[in-house]
Chains A and B, each alone.
Chain A
């Protein structure tokens, strides 16, 4: 089997198997899985809403998928994309509010920088802790998620809320910080659909991440560290530096979710805006086999499901949109348990090389 075929085959099997298991669950609660899946996936293909919203939902997932991917390639597990994107989104809004009167030519780059550097900073913390004290990044990123959420909630509640507003959200950002929605330049595409330039930025990031990891010396060093840190060290590579660098890049990517949500969609920071993007990013990276192209495909699949979930909720008798998370969970479980399929196919089980 060629490498490409195998790279495509196993994720495909995992997705199909998840749909089969999900189908059984749907039958158990008394609905027809074919109808449910038609609602779930069919709605994603309609023009303009289905496609527009699917691409809109895919945007944060591409960012977080890339974030997790960069970590994985360095042998790190960044479970903290959720916290990184929260704190970055808040920072983006803060810049958008504080410097509201600047010209867009300055304000937008400032906002971008806020998203990127705040995300990078927040992710660099567990990186430094690992490099310096050897403490496990999985635990620290989980802990920092909660800290980030509490921190931004504090700032929102105590300092940046519009007095009297019952919702936990900041004031709006300046007009100059808005980035264009697709409706502005795609004929016939309604501007109410929040798909915006951040989607193109996400695609650009896929290309940049690919170039960075596979075509630059820094990427080589990160991947070498992830593949075998002892050999990397032998080759004169500072493992500690790579850990911090990879976490920072990872956090920067996660932070760009803030650009999509704050500058392109809500035009303010809204507490609790993330629909589990950080965790879904893990699924996206794994299903996408830790490759930028795979990340795009996996993000589109999950985004389509997310969009379809609303239709399932509205039109199906028993099945709710929760089926989306159920399917996501089963897909990751199957992807993680690749050797299960090898075992089913009668091969010898071996360690799944997820972090390779």
Chain B
């Protein structure tokens, strides 16, 4: 059905795809697995015409095809559901589905006949959704159905699904897999991109494994097992072991009582959460992404409008609710944000300028005449210390942050946040998109900060990371704390159950 031959794609200095070969047989469910940044999505975006390959060719039904845009891919019967849904939120389900493949002639948009066709498709594939509902009123699961209908409406014979289960609960995943099997029965071909091995084993017929932009294995699902796939994916022993001494727990630094946070649209994202973090311990928060972790951390860091917060946030006995980010930093709260490009860095600024973000306005950085001016020497000194202690490479404070690799950018942020000797550290996804060497380094640093008496609240989507680092583990589900477990004794099954089903 689909074949990628020797596909190579470069983004700047990063080789995202290195001579990738993938063969997908018709009428099968084909899984493409690999860690974050392995190049899975890039390869599939090339197949869908979203990116153009630097070299290599794409074959559809055995013929070499020039796919320059999604338009071309759709014409060849390829459909794709992206990880971040590609829907126009202000428009209705029907409008989104027909967009680009409108029924009727060019002079009249026939949404009525479209709606009936959509109803037919929804019944056939058991994808219930109201064609006249605006997208912004739909749940994430419903939006995914719209995406599937979009592809089916365009008579896609091959469906590419990028991390489709990331937004689903286990129950929904079961339903979703049933839909995929139904599609296979109808003769469709499905490619599913994922990094969850249990899902690969449950649904696929064949697996292609990618690592560092290369294809490192291709196996029949029935001939393999989780351990083999994991070894191929990671290329080393899978289990991360973090050596850490017994926690010397002190007093409660952060106390949260009945905290709720609503988003801009008024939806409750964090719901009645209470817990505390004591000095000298790492409290982990595990959960499927999008269950309120982001909103929780931002509310604690002072990045949320106080009007959207109810309940109490107390730090060392002081009520933080109305305080801005600056005051919280002054009290000793540091924050390693989940998205370093969006929140953590000024990409066009030099490393030196980035190293003072958050302390730029007070001595020793601000000096002279009522502390108005920046002290260039103090800035260089600080940047030098961070670069040296956290091994930021290349060690040149004048470079723009943009020029660094993901791991080095992360080290710069961590160095900056450590430099203030925080009493409470909020950490989100500390090792996302970071190379393995840096991961271990970052983990060691977190543990040593804990041992120095800092209270750490850690959010991570990597279950293994959060269980091995944490002293206590809270599980979040749909904005609520679904339970607390002792990470030393809890099994992954137990945690997984709480993550997905709540109480």
Q: Which residues of A contact B (CB under 8 A)?
A: 215-218, 220-221, 223-224, 227-228, 230-238, 353, 356
Contact = CB atoms under 8 A, between A and B. Distances in A.
A356 B350 CA distance: 13
Contacts of A236: 302, 324-329, 358
A228 B324 CA distance: 18
Given A231-B342, A236-B326, A221 B360 contact: yes
20 contacts: A215-B373, A215-B374, A216-B372, A217-B366, A217-B372, A223-B349, A224-B357, A227-B347, A227-B348, A228-B348, A230-B343, A231-B342, A231-B344, A233-B303, A234-B344, A234-B357, A234-B358, A235-B360, A236-B328, A238-B326
A227 B360 CA distance: 16
Contacts of B9: none
> Which 5 pairs across A and B sit closest by C-beta, in order of nearness?
A236-B326, A235-B357, A235-B358, A236-B325, A217-B361
A234 B337 contact: yes
Interface in B339-377: 342-349, 353, 356-358, 360-361, 365-366, 371-374
Q: SS class of chain A's interface: helix, strand, loop or mixed? A: helix
Contacts of B326: 236-238
The size bracket of the interface on B is 20 to 34
B335 interface: yes
Nearest to B326: A236
Contacts of A220: 353, 356, 360, 374
B346 A218 contact: no
B114 interface: no
Contact of B374 (A217, A234, A238): A217
Contact of B349 (A221, A227, A238): A227
B22 interface: no
A63 to B, nearest CB: 23
A353 B357 CA distance: 22
B348 A353 contact: yes
A231 B360 contact: no
B325 A224 contact: no
Interface of B: 301-303, 324-329, 335, 337, 342-349, 353, 356-358, 360-361, 365-366, 371-374
Nearest to B357: A235
Contacts of A218: 372
Given A217-B373, A221-B361, A235-B358, 20 more contacts: A215-B374, A216-B373, A217-B372, A218-B372, A220-B353, A220-B374, A223-B349, A228-B345, A228-B347, A230-B343, A231-B342, A232-B346, A234-B301, A234-B303, A234-B325, A234-B344, A235-B360, A236-B325, A236-B327, A236-B329
Contacts of A221: 360-361
A234 B347 contact: no
Contacts of B365: 217
Nearest to B367: A217
Nearest to A218: B372
B409 to A, nearest CB: 12
A233 B358 CA distance: 9
Contacts of B348: 227-228, 353, 356
